[in-house]
Structure 1
Amino acid sequence: MNDERTYWLETMQRIADPVLRSLANDTLHADLPSETTPLKPSALLEAFGRVVCGLGPWLGAPVLPAAEDSIREEYIRLYYEGLRHGMDPLSPDYMPILGDTQPLVDMAFLADGILRAGDVLTDDLEGDDLDNFLYALELTARIKPYESNWVLFSVLVEILRAKLGDPNASQEKIDRYLKEMMAWYKGDGIYGDGRDVHVDYYNSYVIHPLLVDAVTYYQDDYTRSIRDVVYQRAARYAATLERIISPEGTFPVLGRSITYRFGAFHALALAAWRHDLPEGVAPSQVRAALTAVIQKTTTATDMFDANGWLNIGFYGNQPAMGEGYINHGSVYLCTTVFLPLGLPVSDPFWADPAKDWTAKAVYGNTPVPRNEPVNY
């Protein structure tokens, strides 16, 4: 196994391990740090849903090195234990759905991770565990999304309900909200977040990844009709993301939710995992660029607290950078950078020699392709 993949795996484990083990032990509510007392009710689902969202492709990978496979099997066990506790109203780690809108967001991230894993995160769901989860999804589906990227959260919840055989899953809701999101497209790979454009990373945190996964994991006439253009736009945005990574692995500190750290590259990581990178962007240059980003971000000595939990911040412990909706569970969306771990070691992403990414090549006086806008 190459050194870069080993580094990615070890970094992913360092981030995800406290969440999955604590929830499996029914102690996440007691263990998860909080900036306020009491702990925000949605924080547990935020941490769990976002970790599973990032780990899904690796958990469902058909082929892994033997050294990874044993870790993966342990994490699948931890997932099922954690889901049992999180959906059980009698558990200390119960993740309440009613009384807040935030659970819609993080049930959708959880759903997306489950879908990305194929069947390995649903095959062993049965009995009370399945019933409790279906009921939680039903309660979540009652939450009305804001007129923004939130409409995609409702879509992913309905898609997972359909996958789990819930007869009340709504195709009408899926199609209606997807049509809303498609109508907010502004051009050159950028969607509005609602009717307005914001200079931030929400096209990567949420919009492109959830749109791509919606048309991938749900089949009806409407999703089939928009699939190609969704993929084309996502590839265009992935190219933009690759170009903002500096030669040193830094990237601009822009907009809301910047404490998601390298979760800003969710859409680029998804394109790499799905083999949907645009022409002229090699998998090995994306690997090199993302490795540089991960390495730069994790050089902060206070990225983690003394117990191994992520601190709130962009580089280290910077709680003032977190908006009012940010808590210690929220920041685990950074795990989405690790989606390419779902690719086999033999895939060009891992196997090809490292190639300079765009900014590094330019500053090394190497010509690169022009960055031409697109109209689809």
Structure 2
Amino acid sequence: MTDERTYWFDTMQRIASPVLHSLANETLHSDLPTETPPLKPSALLEAFGRTICGLGPWLGATDIPENEKAVQAEFLDLYYRGLANGMRPESQDYMPIVGDHQPLVDMAFLADGILRGGDRMIDDMPEDVQDDFLYALQLTAQIKPYESNWVLFSVLVEIMRWKLDDPAYSQQKIDTLLQKMMQWYRGDGIYGDGQNVHVDYYNSYVIHPLLVDAVTYYSDAYTRSIRDVVYQRAARYAATLERVISPEGTFPVLGRSITYRFGAFHALAQAAWQHNLPENVAPSQVRAALTAVIQRTITATDMFDANGWLNIGFYGNQPTMGEGYINHGSVYLCNTVFLPLGLPVSDPFWADPAKDWTAKAIYGNAPVPRDEPVNY
């Protein structure tokens, strides 16, 4: 267990450190690579928001190993300095909101990470930084989401406004958009991305994680009424994700945004962190499976460039695999695999002996429970 957590911790640092250090030093705009200059305006917010989305639980954790505490304190400081630089219009690393739809996505990822981190992500926010952040959220709220998973980004922006005591936040908007997402459910843990179902990982990149967090961090009559079924569907989808991991730690290369790499397991990592795995999926088998995925992905010799930044690709440097909306900031959604670092070492996820995950057990000729659909 100790070696595995250390491996996760070291890998998380390797990926997140360039983003957090550059933004805190107000050099992210000049440091972040780009395939086609100039740098896309939203790239800075993409890198920062997606990094914080994955690190939030660990940044906010109070029960972590001694060897992690100094880095946690450093990264919390970098987060606060980075947020100040990103939200301040005079900054070299200012993250503009107007003129593009993309900021809606990544302000929501940033908000989600802050919510996951709890009070430690907000308590030391200077008043002027909070004012700038809230103003950016208010501008973001004016962006109309597409009829797709994007409705959840608008929901998380509104919840963050509520968390920061913005009297103008809209409960009606939260409920209306959540109702729309719930209407797109297609069964057996799968939501449509809008009216259509796509063969990709967006149920994990966005849909289940943001739905779960919406009903976790915001409470009104409607969110309370759907909370149990949201958790149940997320648990079912987490079980499906666990089963797609091969004995070697590979997984199918399917659909859009595959350059998010092990961000494809956002929903599984979240279910493990929030203790929402189904009964027949042990936390220690999820730890073993995700460790195998991380290790297999990292073996690509050119996953990082010479300066430590993530290259665009699935296994290494494969920029042709990225859609037109993918840039070097986008791929930092891979940080969401690290959500379980927010759990204490005494948690079964870390403390229990490693257990073979489903595919490894099957190919080892071990007994494995049947996989059966659910109707909720």
Task: State the TM-score, normalized to the length of structure 2.
Answer: 1.00
- Partner residue, 1:210: 210
| Aligned residue identity for 2:252 | P
Corresponding residue SS for 2:197:
coil
Cα deviation per residue 1:25-62 (whole Å; 9 max; x = unaligned)? Answer: 00000000001111000000000000000000000112
Corresponding residue SS for 1:120:
helix
Corresponding residue SS for 2:121:
coil
Report the Cα distance in structure 2 between the residues aligned to 1:256 and 1:311, rounded to whole angstroms: 17
Report the Cα distance in structure 1 between the residues aligned to 2:114 and 2:127, rounded to whole angstroms: 18
Report the Cα distance in structure 1 between the residues aligned to 2:117 and 2:294, rounded to whole angstroms: 23
Tell me, yes or no, if structure 1 residue 43 matches structure 2 residue 38.
no
Superposed, 1:109-120 pairs within 5 Å as 109-120=109-120
- Partner residue, 1:290: 290
| Aligned residue identity for 1:83 | L
- Partner residue, 2:175: 175
- Partner residue, 1:197: 197
Task: Specify every segment of 5 or more residues in structure 1 that has no aligned partner in the other structure, as ranges.
Answer: none
- Partner residue, 2:350: 350
How many residues are treated as equivalent by the alignment? 376
Tell me, yes or no, if structure 1 residue 27 matches structure 2 residue 27.
yes
Q: 1:222 deviation in Å? A: 0.1
Q: 1:126 deviation in Å? A: 2.8
Superposed, 1:122-141 pairs within 5 Å as 122-141=122-141
Report the Cα distance in structure 2 between the residues aligned to 1:351 and 1:125, rounded to whole angstroms: 34
Cα deviation per residue 1:336-373 (whole Å; 9 max; x = unaligned)? Answer: 00000000001110011000000000000011000010
Report the Cα distance in structure 2 between the residues aligned to 1:12 and 1:204, rounded to whole angstroms: 19
Cα deviation per residue 1:209-260 (whole Å; 9 max; x = unaligned)? Answer: 0000000000100000000000000000000000000000000000000000
Task: Specify every segment of 5 or more residues in structure 2 that has no aligned partner in the other structure, as ranges.
Answer: none
Cα deviation per residue 1:240-293 (whole Å; 9 max; x = unaligned)? Answer: 000000000000000000000000000000000001000110000000000000
Tell me, yes or no, if structure 1 residue 306 matches structure 2 residue 306.
yes
Report the Cα distance in structure 1 between the residues aligned to 2:4 and 2:127, rounded to whole angstroms: 41
Q: 1:158 deviation in Å? A: 0.3
Report the Cα distance in structure 1 between the residues aligned to 2:292 and 2:257, rounded to whole angstroms: 21
Report the Cα distance in structure 1 between the residues aligned to 2:365 and 2:93, rounded to whole angstroms: 54
Q: 1:130 deviation in Å? A: 1.1
- Partner residue, 2:219: 219
Corresponding residue SS for 2:341:
helix
Corresponding residue SS for 1:250:
coil
Superposed, 1:86-125 pairs within 5 Å as 86-125=86-125
Tell me, yes or no, if structure 1 residue 280 matches structure 2 residue 283.
no
Report the Cα distance in structure 1 between the residues aligned to 2:23 and 2:89, rounded to whole angstroms: 14
Q: 1:138 deviation in Å? A: 0.3
- Partner residue, 1:337: 337
Q: 1:127 deviation in Å? A: 2.3
- Partner residue, 2:15: 15
Report the Cα distance in structure 2 between the residues aligned to 1:257 and 1:346, rounded to whole angstroms: 35
Report the Cα distance in structure 1 between the residues aligned to 2:62 and 2:18, rounded to whole angstroms: 25
Mean Cα deviation higher: 356-365 or 61-70: 61-70
Report the Cα distance in structure 2 between the residues aligned to 1:151 and 1:173, rounded to whole angstroms: 10
Corresponding residue SS for 1:119:
helix
Superposed, 1:314-325 pairs within 5 Å as 314-325=314-325
Report the Cα distance in structure 1 between the residues aligned to 2:127 and 2:222, rounded to whole angstroms: 34
- Alpha-carbon RMSD across the aligned residues, in angstroms, is 0.6
Report the Cα distance in structure 2 between the residues aligned to 1:61 and 1:293, rounded to whole angstroms: 24
Q: 1:124 deviation in Å? A: 1.3
- Partner residue, 1:361: 361
Report the Cα distance in structure 2 between the residues aligned to 1:201 and 1:160, rounded to whole angstroms: 25
- Partner residue, 1:375: 375
Cα deviation per residue 1:274-316 (whole Å; 9 max; x = unaligned)? Answer: 0100011000000000000000000000000000000000000
Report the Cα distance in structure 1 between the residues aligned to 2:146 and 2:34, rounded to whole angstroms: 26
Corresponding residue SS for 2:186:
strand
Task: State the TM-score, normalized to the length of structure 1.
Answer: 1.00
Report the Cα distance in structure 2 between the residues aligned to 1:162 and 1:126, rounded to whole angstroms: 18
Q: 1:165 deviation in Å? A: 0.5
Tell me, yes or no, if structure 1 residue 146 matches structure 2 residue 146.
yes
